[in-house]
Structure formats: C-alpha cells, structure tokens
Amino acid sequence: MTSANKQIRAARYGMTIDVDRCNGCGACMVACSVENNVPPAHEGATDRKGLTWIRVYKVDNGEEYPNRRTAFVPVMCQHCGNETPCVHVCPQQAVDVDPSTGVVGEMPQRCLGCRYCMAACPYHARYFNWWDPAWPAGMEKTLNPGVTPRMRGVVEKCNLCHGRWHAAKERAAAEGKPDTEPVDYLPACAEACPTGAIHFGDLNDSASAAAKEAAEPESFRLLEKLNTQPKIYYRSKKEWVREIAAAPRPGTGKENTRG
Amino acid sequence: MNTTRREVLMFAGGSAVGVLFTPAPWRLITDSALWSENWPGIPAPGHGEIRTRYTNCSLCTAGCAVRARCVGDQPVQLSGVSGHPLTHGALCPFGLAGHHLPYLPSRVKQGPAKEAADAVANGIAKCGAGECVATLDLQPARTASWTYRRAMAALKNGRYVAPSGDSSVAVDLSQARTVLSFGVPVLDGWGTPGNVNTARGGFRLIQIEAVESRTATMADQWLRIRPGSEDALAQALAGTAPIATAADATGLATSEIVALIAQLEHDGPTLVLGSSRLASSGRTVIARREAPVPAEWQKAAPVTALASLPDRSVRVLLIDESAQGEYLPWHTIEKKLVSDNPVIVAFAWSREGYARHANFVLPVGVYPEVAGDIPSAIDSVAATFRIAAPLVSPPADMVKPEQFVAAAAGLATGDTLRERADAIHKAARGSLFTYADAKSQALKDVTADAFWKALNAGACWIDAPDDKAPVAQLAAAGTESRPAEQADLPLAVVVSRELTPGSPILSKLYQESNLRLAPNRVALNPACGLEDGAQAVFETLLGKCHVGVTLDAGVPAGVVQVSGSPAVLDLCAAGVRAKVVRV
Amino acid sequence: MASQSMDRQFITRGLTRCSGSKFLWWISPWIALLLFGLYAAALCLIKGLNQTNMDNRFAFGLWIFLDLTVIALGAGAFFTGFLLYILKLDELRSVINSAVVIGLVCYSGAMCVLAVDVGQPLRAWFTFWYPNVHSMLTEVTFCISCYLTVLAIEYVPIVLRNRKLRQVPSFLVFEFELHKLIYVLAGVGTFLSFFHQGSLGGLYGVLRGRPFAFREGLAVWPSTFFLFILSAAAVGPSFILLTTWLVEKLSHKRLVRPEVLQLLGRISGSLLAVYVLAKSIDTLVWINRTSPETGFQAWQYYSWKPFGSWILVAEIGLFGLVPALILLAPKLRRRTGWLVSGAVLACLGVALNRFVLTVQTLALPTLSFDRFLSYTPSWQETGTFLAVVAYGVLVYSFSFRYFQLFPQERELKIAAPQMEEERELVGRS
C-alpha cells in the first residue's frame, strides 16, 4: 500500500533521580526485584554476591559529626549511550543497545557467563547469578509472568523494565496507535518510589519531566569524564553530592563502609 | 546389482556433506541452546488472566491503599493507589512485598485449637482472687480490639491490655512549622509515609537521636545526643531543668541547646514527637473522634497498660499477634504471669515472635489473606475506616482470634466488621474514596450495602473534618533513663525497629546491600574491631543471642544499634547495656 | 618383568629412563593431585560458581590471572617455532619438541580452566555462532581454539616418532607428510599467537570503564595489545629455558648443549629489554595523559594498600629491567645460576603484569562510594588450578619418557664425560 519508508521516532528512555529526596528506604529495590523475578538471597550471599538490579548506596562526605553529611544514591544500569562498554566486550553479542529506545538490553539466554561485561562496567551495575534461583515453597506463584526467571551462570541487570515496555507496546497496538511512536510506560522503581525521587521519561521528548530536569544545572551524571553518556541523571543542590559523581577519593581511612 | 563398500562409503560421505546444506544440523545445534536455558528446577511463572484488584495494606497503621496486579486470583505485584487523599500512592518496601507473606518459611501452619480452648476454659475457671484473664492486643483500635474489650468485660476478671499509645489523638503535620523528634523515625515508617512526604516541604525537621538514622540523614538538623539522654534534653527545652545539666547529659554544647530553644520559640507551631516532657504547640496535636461503633459495643473493658497490671496476676494470657504491632519484650510480660502454670496462647502467623514463649501457638491468616480493619494512622487528622480485603484464601485450619476469644468469654458475636461498617454508615458523615475509579463521594449518598461492597473491593472511609476538635497532647512511652556505666557491658543499646518478619525478598535491603539493618544484625561503629558480616553474640543482663555485625559509621563508638528481631528485643529493656563478642 | 620390558620397548633407543616402578612413584602424587583438582572442578561445575570466592566486583579471579600467565609462558611454543622454522635459528631444534609439549599443556590446561570458569560451559560454542567482531574476547576464543588445534597437530609427529609407533608404516608415512607442513604450521601458529596474545592484552586495554587498565593505542588496538605480545615473546624462551633446566635437574641428564640455553636467554633478554622500554613509555603516557583525561589521577591507584607504587616499580624494574640486564650480559649468561635466576625473574614479571591487570584493576574502586576490596581464592579454585598443573606434569612426564623431546640427548649422553670437563672449564671462566 505505501512505501516501506517508516521513520521510527527513536526514544531515549532515561531517568532523573533526585538525591536530595531519596531517603534510602529501599522501596525501589524491592519493587524491582518483584517485577523482574529476582530471587531472594541464597544463604551464602553477601552484598558482593547478591542480585540487586538497582542498589541504593549510602554515601557520605567522609567527615565526622557534626560536619558529617550523608545521602542515598540509587544506582542501576546507566544505559550508556556512547561506546557502551558492556556491548563492545560481550563475545556472544548477548548485550545490545536498542536504537529505538536507547535501552541496553541483556539476553540471559545467550549469556555464556564469562563476566567480561562485569569487568567492563564502571558502575558495577551488572550482577551474576552465582546460585540457581530459589524461592520458598509456594512463593513461585507470585512470579511475574511478563519476565523470565534466569538460571545460574548468567549475568543480569536493569533493562528499564523491558517487560513493561513490551506490555505498553502491545496496549498501544491494541489501541490502534502507530508503532513508529515511542510508548509511555513506567519502570517499577519509578512507580514505587514513595518520595517521588525517580522521574522516568523519554529524554528525546523535550516536554517530558525527565528531559527538562536533565537539562538543569543541578543535574549531573556519574563518571562523566569517562564519556559513556549515561542516560541516568542525578540531581542535587548539594555541592558535595555532585563531587561524589566525579571520581574516587584516595584512601583516607575514612572510606565509606556501608554498601 | 552389487553395491560395493566403496559406493556405500561414497554415499555416506556425500550425505554427510549434503546434510550440512540442510537446516537439520543447524537447527539441532541451536536447539541445544534451548536445552541449556530451561533446566528443570527453574520455576516458571503462572499463566492466567491479568486482573487488577484493590485492598489496603494491614502491615502497619498507615494502611496504605494497594493496587494488586493479579494473575488469575494470585497477586504478583503490589503498588500504591495514586490520588488517594491520605496515602498518595506510596507503599513502603515491606508493603511492596506483602503478597509474599503467606509463603514465609517461618509460617505457623498448624496448632492445637481444641486443646488451647480447653486449657483457656480451665484457666478461667481456676482464676483465684487477684488473678485475671488478659488479652494482649498488639495493634489496638481495630474492630477486633473492640471484640476483645467486650469479651474481657463479659468475664468477671478480664483485662484488655495494649501497648501505650492513644488513638483518640492525632497529629496534624500541616499545622507544624517545626517538628522536633526525639528518635522517632518520622521519615522512615512513621505515620503514613505518603502523607509525611507530601507535608515534608511545610516543616523544618529537627531530629534528636544517638545514631544517624535515615530520618537523621534527611532531617534539616540532626543533633547527636548520648543514648538515654532524651529526657534530660526535653526537660531543659521545657524549662524544667537547667541547660547545663542537659548539656552534660547529652554531650551537646550549651550554645546548641540555647539555639534550639530559640528556634522552637520563633519557628512554631512545633510538633514534639517522642517525649511527653515538652508540649507541642498550636493545633499540631488534636483530639480525634473515633470511627462510629455500634451502641451495643459500649459495654467494653477499658484499655489497661501492661505496666499497671499487678505482678504475678495473669493466669490466662491471650496474645493477638496476628496484626503487626509493637513487640513488647517477653520479660516485661513474663513477670505479670502467675508462677504456677499460666496458660499462654499466642495467635501468630510466624514462629519468630511470642510463639517462642507460648504454650499454645495457634495459626492465623496473614495479610493479604484475612479481612480485618486497619486503625487510623497517627497522622490522620480525621478517623478512617478501611478493610484489608483478602486477595488470596488462607490455608485450611486457620484460627480466627476474635472468634476464639469471644467464645472463651462466652460472648456472642456476628460479623463484627459488617456491624461496624453499618454503624459508620448510620452516622452518615464523612466521605468514601473508592480505588478502582479514584473517586470520592459523600457517605450519605451511598447505601449501606454499596458501602460494604465498596469497602471489600478496595476503598477508604474518611471522617468529616472536625474544626472544633480540641487541642491535645501526645502521650509518649515511659522515659528512658541514661544507662549506667558498666565495665563488662560497655555498649549503650539503641533500638530502631524494622517490620519483621518480612518477605524473603527483603534480603535485597539486608544482606545483599546492607542498606537497612537486618532484624538479626546489630550495627557497630567501624572502630569496634569486628569485620562487617562477622558472627557474634549479643549479650545483656537479660541473656544472649547470636547476631551478625554490620559496620556503620553513623553509629558512634560505645553504642550498638539493634533492629526489630523479637529474639534481640527480648534482651533489651529501657537503659540496658550490652556487649558484642565475636563468635 | 614382562611389563618392564614392554615399557622399555616404548622408550627411544639409546636413551635411558628410570625404571617403571620409579616412574610410578613419580607420577602417583601428581595423579592424586589431579584427582583432587578434578573433584574441586566438579564441585564448581555441579554446584555452580558460588564455590569460588569470586563475586560481582571480582568477576575475574585466580583462574583468569593464572590462565593469562600460563598462556604467556606457553608462548615459547610459537616463538621457538617461529625462530626455528621461519628465522632458521637451527640451534633451537634441540628444544622445539619440548616447547611444543609445554605449549600444548599450557593451552589445553587454560582451556579446561576456562570451561569451568564460565557460568554456562555448554554455551561455549555461542562465541563461534554469534561472534561479536568488536570484542577482544571473541578474537581470543577463535585464535586460541585454532592455535590449540595447531599445537595438537604439531604434537602428533612427536607422538608418532615413538619407537613402537613408528613401526606402523602408515604412521611413519603420515608423520613424514605432516612434517612437510611444518613451516606452514609454524607460520600459522605465529600468526594466530600474535593475535591472541595481543588480544589478551587488548581485553584490558579497551576497558574504558576501568581507567587503571585503559590505554590508548593504534586504531582499535590499545597499547596493551602490543605489550602483551612483546612480553609473551620475551618470556616464552625464558620459560623453555627454565623447564629444560628443571627437567635436566630432575632426570640427572644432559638434554641440550649449554649454548642453546644461553641463546634462549639472549633472545629473552633482548626482547625483555625492548619490552621494558615500551612498557615504560606506555606507563608514562598513561600516567600523564590517558588516565587524567578520564578524571582519575594515576597516583590514586597506588594509594590503596597493599598496592602501593612499589608494585609498578617491581613490575618494570625488579622483574623487568633486572632480568633483561642479567640475560643480556654474556658473562652472567654463561653461569647457570644467573641464567636461571634471570629466567625466573622474567617469568615472575609476566605473572605480576597479568596479576596487576586482572586483580588490581578489579580491586580498585571506580565510583567514589565504592570500596577497595580484597579477594582470596577458595580451595576449590586453587584445587582446580592445581589439577591443571598436575595434568601438565603428567603429560610432560609421559612425553619425556616415551617420546624423544630432546634430539641432542643421545649425542650428549655419549659425549657426557667430555661435556663434564668442558662445563667445569666454562664454569670457572
């Protein structure tokens, strides 16, 4: 009927996270695990062997009371847009950047478990299944049918709730909307945050809250000098929090010991 | 025709090469990838129609509205209901995983209901002079709490015991310009989180606490005092004690306390949480009329504080642990029991709490299996009535504590929730907010049946505002004394409670990230010499138990912060000191 | 007795080897170690990688570090082949067979450990099926698999020249024909090794998310690509030298002329000197330009205990420049003690380099709210690796016993007393 010249309007899904609002409650971490069928910790798991697609770190300015300042920074896959480190290194092409959404997707079914991508990621956003997933008896009934559980030996990470994006696409198709337009949806963490610290949206859409906030001067990204162009922006009015984003402090003995 | 061996070999070789040009071997190769993806033992999610249902979370008195995404009848995901006038769509990490609770490994599945009933009847008959039958209700002000009070009134020596806290008083955050909190976790699980977050911009929060809690981190000002010196500081702020004494006790500078007094004077109205020595000002704390109750229920026992019961006077103790509430350390309860064979019945869904101490542990349904109403939250200016409408069926053989206690006291009851709803409907005031359509309407425009149906499908009744409500004051718990120094128990104990037990998925916040202090862990300053994750023994004068160690620079030296595990709380009392020794 | 004489029939004519029972005594502990290690590896395969102490921050651990070291040490196989068949350095003919066996053992052992190290070993073929042309690891997988095949093919003639096996005419013919290909094999082996040794370096150099490891370079190849090739080529001959000397000591036999070992030392020393120069330049560029541009000052890396700047000095100086100088000095080369020490230092230097790039890279924080972490391998990891060591010793022992690994051994045995005198004279000068 018509030419095949459909221009897909590409979205660049991203987030702004207001660090000044985050109180470290962990609702985002729980909502993410429920949505994505992340299993509870195995007995031997610690914070170094756990599966936390989004993880809230408690950071401080290294001072003692009364000059001590603390903040909470949720970190998930930053969905790097430029020379995405993990995409380049995966030997099996199990990681790719979706050009229509900007989301860095992981295919656990193709993952060999070589963990090269984990070494490549500077944000430590990738997690390995050191154990087979196990839920207490009966709790498998509560698994989300939109997401496949993974088995051991594969790497997994935040994919901006790809299952929800798919469901939104299907809904849009059922409503007759053109499939060249990006869809509106909300990942579990943004939906669950009780303080409203996480704003999700299409960074290409200048009308979206996320795009507007990302352009503001108090917005910054982690490790900007590495030039990975992440799509997760953090916001804070506090100077010391913005400094946190740059690079590690040398060992002063006052290093952060939580998380 | 004779086929030679050479021809057979040529045919085989040619076929081998030829088959490579067919899809067959390549499909087999890629199929082996599928075999490596779907090993047995990896559970598959269920299938079914996706439905949305609504309820209210009964894990705490916030009673946040819940939208449940269900596969068939099984909830697979919970989220808040945005637009709710009180909870504003917020749900805490515990509520987000509430649908896992029925599958907890520590679930109590069976119990000797008949034997327990007989033992209770015997105990009631054996009660002598000065002895009593007590029902300990850990989440008072529910409809079931009225049944207990009525049941205890029906007995000649029945007592209704509840932890301190007055539900006839409410906090109005919108009226406060300053909130002075003595260790109350205002921003981390107090009141209704959605309401606190919405009101946050309107007040300055001063947190007075010995450790750097989440609230202290987010507060506008955190004043670090020595554990147990809250009372001294409050007295100085109230002007009933000299500032120098407070400075001495708390470790704050005199100038800091003077500045604080000035702040409270100029930046009122001030809401004071966590201490009754200092009064809140303005209309920050007001009296709140309760949701209407059927007239026949007024013959009910009054609320008795545990401390006011005489020691060794309780012959039969019925503990309703079915709703999560404040865990009272066992030693405070044990001393009220008679010394010769008291009957202790615990209605519990988990083995971790009073089930460890009771003679009879009777299994109950857990959220989201059982219908029960949720008391009004402390920061709800108007009374509310909401039911935790069940989303799944409880297992067979569950006991209903309300019915058990009523039967033991010989009190005839019907569907108490329905009776309550009808009484509220009769009073014809207030509004009904239904979750499915996020609409609010006046209660008088709704029939009684429609009201009952809406409550069970996910809704909230909010009382009409009472502009003439008198100003009131919050009653705080018993004041903590400054722990005396003790050579072999060098650590002062600070308790910060987590809702426990919770879903196994909370390991994300506990051992997989150390974001929150796990119930079976204690937090110590990094200079304590132990490693993070070390196994240790936590010991006080009341006993010892195994814990794990979390290092936290927000905990000052000389202090140990404990979380909400009942086993640990049993060892804590006001002003207790402890030691933590590596195993 | 009969079995003894059977055994003797497999041993090359003219050479003496210890008795069968003595040989059994030698291999028994290695078999025991192999079995223990196989058990450790089986635990990792059956129960999963939670048996190791690797974690989300230490994605690579003992295995990757030792794999890289072992592959670098096994580079002697390709390099000796290159020197012998392409550059026609005929003295090396006396060690080429041993080098091939060592190479085979190193590469096959590394592949076995890699099969245990990945989370899904059954998906190992995915790299061939869905290769990612941008990934260094794809290149490594392809080249190492091909090179292992080449090594296996190079090993076949050694096997077929066994005294008993060469009595089979078809084997003899096959071996003869195969030997015509030896130049092709050497060339292919050099080509493949160039690329996979380099890609192993490239693995770290392309990590722009890890400024400690990241390097600039030429086109898509970071400087570590070339540095790894250089270091592997430099240390390969040292390792051959070391193993030959060790086998001579253990078997109490003369296997090669001392000049051959000295030649190996000289080659190793010269390449090592070039490597040290290249590495120093690279380090300076990294300290002054590459790292600061990513926002990470180089001195920050060395402020975490125990990885102080001593480790950089040790890698380039004590284990780089020092053995280079030792091996380049003719007087020192002629003394076995110095020669062997130089070789040992060189090998340790390569091991240290691989360790630094694997372990130190992952230990260092990248985010300011990270911590510096430490890692100790679990016994299962150590056990698995010891299985590879045991496997190597067993394969080499069998090869040494039944195949002619050292062509000069026979003539040296005959000339033994003469050699003794010469050696004493040489030792004194």
Q: What is the pLDDT of residues A142-190, one digit of tens each?
A: 999 999 999 899 999 999 999 999 999 999 999 998 888 888 899 999 9
Q: Which chains touch C (3 or more CB pairs under 8 A)?
A: A, B
Of B208, B270, B210, give the one whose Cα is nearest residue B233.
Answer: B208
User: Cα(C104)–Cα(C164) distance, rounded to whole angstroms?
Assistant: 22
Task: Write down the pLDDT at residue B245.
Answer: 92
Q: Give the integer Cα–Cα distance in Å for B179 and B142.
A: 28
Res C425: pLDDT: 62
- Find, among C84, C353, C384, C385, the residue nearest to C240 by Cα: C84
The position carrying tokens 């003692």 is A64
Name the residue of chain C whose CA is nearest to A44's CA: C50
Residue-by-residue DSSP string for B422-445 = HHHHHHT-SEEEETTTTEEEEGGG
Question: Which structure tokens are listed for B303?
Answer: 């609320």
CA distance B484 to chain C (A): 37
Q: Which residues contact C77 (CB under 8 A, 6 or more apart)?
A: C99, C100, C102, C103, C104, C106, C107, C151, C154, C189, C193, C236
Looking at the structure, tell me whether residues B98 and B217 fall in a common domain: no
The set of long-range contacts for C321-327, using a CB threshold of 8 Å and a minimum separation of 24, is C321/C273, C321/C276, C323/C238, C323/C269, C323/C272, C323/C349, C324/C269, C324/C270, C324/C272, C324/C273, C324/C275, C324/C276, C325/C269, C325/C273, C326/C269, C327/C238, C327/C265, C327/C266, C327/C268, C327/C269, C327/C272
Asked if A30's CB is within 8 angstroms of B97's CB, the reply is yes
**Sheet strand arrangement including A198-202:** A198-202, A13-18, A232-235, A219-220
Choosing from B287, B316, B338, the residue where a domain stops is B287
Nearest residue, CB atoms, B77 vs list A29, A144, A151: A144
Whole-number pLDDT of residue B89: 93
- Looking at the fold, whether B15 and B141 belong to one and the same domain comes out as no
Distance of CA B571 to the CA centre of its chain: 20
**A122 confidence band (pLDDT: 50, 70, 90):** very high
On whether the CB atoms of residues A210 and A201 are closer than 8 A, the answer is yes
Q: Is residue B476 part of a domain?
A: no
Q: What is the DSSP string of B68-115?
A: EEEETTEEEEEEE-TT-TTTTT---HHHHTGGGGGG-TTB-----HHH
Taking the C-alpha atoms of C356, C357, C359 and C360 in order, what is their torsion angle to the nearest 10 degrees? 60
> Does residue B94 form part of some domain?
yes
Whether residue B507 is found in the same domain as residue B394: no
Token pair for residue B243?
């500032």
pLDDT of residue B337: 95
Cβ <8 Å between B33 and C126: yes
pTM recorded for the entire structure: 0.92
With contact defined as beta carbons under 8 Å apart, do B458 and B65 qualify?
yes
A133:B217 CB<8 A: no
For residues B318 and B435, membership in a common domain is answered with yes
Domain total for chain B? 5
SS3 state at A32: helix
Can you tell me the mean pLDDT for A24-34?
97
Query: What is the Cα–Cα distance from B254 to B277, expressed in whole angstroms?
Result: 19
ipTM value of the model?
0.92
| Average pLDDT taken over every residue of chain C | 90
For residue B539, being part of any structural domain is answered with: yes
Burial of A218 (0-12, 13-18, 19+ CB in 10 A): middle
In a domain, B458, yes or no: yes
Q: What percent of chain A has pLDDT over 90?
A: 75
CB contact under 8 A, B36 and C120: yes
Q: In what helix (H) or strand (E) does residue B577 lie, and over which residues does it extend?
A: strand B577-582
Residue contact C122–B32, C-beta within 8 A: yes
pLDDT, mean of residues C116-126: 90
Residues A100 and A104: their CA atoms lie apart, in Å, by 11
Set of chain C residues whose Cβ sits within 8 Å of the Cβ of B32: 122
Torsion angle, alpha carbons of C303, C304, C305, C310, to 10: -50
Chain C contact for A248 (CB, 8 A cutoff): yes
Chain C residue numbers touching B29 (CB-CB < 8 A):
125, 129
Alpha-carbon span C106 to C74, nearest angstrom: 6
Q: B329 in a domain, yes or no? A: yes
Predicted confidence at residue A4, as pLDDT, reads 47
Interchain contact, C129 vs B36, CB within 8 Å: no
Q: What interhelical angle do C62-73 and C96-117 show, nearest 10?
A: 160
Contact B29 C126 (CB under 8 A): no
Beta carbons within 10 angstroms of residue C130's beta carbon: 18
Which of B287, B302, B337 is a domain's end point? B287
Helical ranges in B372-504 per DSSP H: 401-409, 416-427, 448-458
Residue A254 confidence (pLDDT)? 44
Q: Are residues B307 and B351 in the same domain?
A: yes
pLDDT band for position A255 (cuts 50, 70, 90): very low
Q: Name the residue facing C295 among A92, A127, A247 (closest C-beta).
A: A247
| Same domain, residue pair B299 and B390 | yes
Flag whether B370 is in a domain.
yes
- Domain membership of residue B348 (yes or no) is yes
Spell out the domains of chain A, with CATH numbers in brackets. 13-255 (3.30.70.20)
- Look at residue A3 and tell me whether its pLDDT is greater than 90: no
| Interchain CB contact of B526 with A (< 8 Å) | yes
Interchain contact C394–A (C-beta under 8 A): no
Residues B155 and B175 in one domain: no
Q: What are phi and psi of C192, to 5 degrees?
A: -65, -40
Touching chains, A (3+ CB pairs < 8 A)? B, C
Which residues in chain A are closer than 8 Å to B552, comparing Cβ atoms? 257-258
Residues B204 and B85 in one domain: no
DSSP category for residue C287? I
Inter-axis angle of helices C169-180 and C182-205, nearest 10? 60
- Which two tokens mark B244? 């120098």
Q: Which residues pair with A96 in a beta bridge?
A: A105
B224 touches chain A (CB under 8 A): yes
What CATH number does the domain containing B505 carry? 2.40.40.20
Q: How far is C162 from C158, CA to CA, in rounded Å?
A: 7
Q: List, in sequence order, every beta strand (DSSP E) within chain A.
A: 13-18, 55-60, 70-75, 95-97, 104-106, 127-128, 155-156, 198-202, 219-220, 232-235
Give yes or no for C128 touching B (CB within 8 A). Answer: no
- Is residue B509 located within the same domain as residue B415? no
Q: Do C56 and A126 touch (CB under 8 A)?
A: yes
CATH number of the structural domain spanning residue B233 = 3.40.228.10
User: Residue C353: is its pLDDT beyond 50?
Assistant: yes
- What mean pLDDT do residues C392-410 have? 91
Beta strands in A131-222 (DSSP E): 155-156, 198-202, 219-220
Whole-number Cα distances in Å, C30 to A8, A203, B402, C393, C396: 63, 61, 72, 7, 12
Q: Which residues of chain A from 58 to 77 reach within 8 Å of chain C, CB to CB?
A: 58-59, 73, 75
Q: Are residues B66 and B76 in the same domain?
A: yes
| pLDDT for the residue A253 | 42
**E strands present in A115-159:** 127-128, 155-156
Paired tokens of B444: 């008088």
The residue among A34, A5, A3, A24 whose CA lies nearest residue A147 is: A34
Joined together, the tokens standing for residue C315 give 């890698």
Q: At C174, is the pLDDT very low, low, confident or very high (cuts 50, 70, 90)?
A: confident
Residues B189 and B321 in one domain: no
Q: What percent of chain C has pLDDT over 90?
A: 61
Tell me if chain C has a CB within 8 Å of the CB of A251: yes
> Is B477 within the bounds of a domain?
no
Domain extent at residue B69: 52-103
**Which residues fall within 8 angstroms of residue B199, CB to CB, at 6 or more apart?**
B173, B174
User: What does the alpha-carbon distance between residue B347 and residue B399 come to, in Å, rounded to a whole number?
Assistant: 8
B221 touching chain A per CB within 8 A: no
Q: Alpha-carbon distance A13 to A9, whole Å?
A: 12
- The distance of C122 to chain B (nearest Cα, Å) reads 7
CB contact under 8 A, B509 and A135: no
Tell whether B63 and B155 lie within a shared domain. no
Return the residue in A93, A135, A140, A142 with the most chain B beta carbons within 10 A, the one to mutate for interface testing.
A142
Q: Among residues A16, A2, A8, A6, which one has the least CA distance to residue A233? A: A16
pLDDT at B98: 95
From C121's Cα to the closest Cα of chain B, the distance in A is 9
CA angle at B277 for the pair B271 and B279, rounded to the nearest 5°: 35
- Share the mean pLDDT of chain A: 90
> Chain C residue closest to B34 (CA)?
C123
Low-confidence spans in chain B with pLDDT less than 70: 1, 36-38, 476-485
Name which of B328, B339, B442, B325 is nearest B375 in CA terms: B325
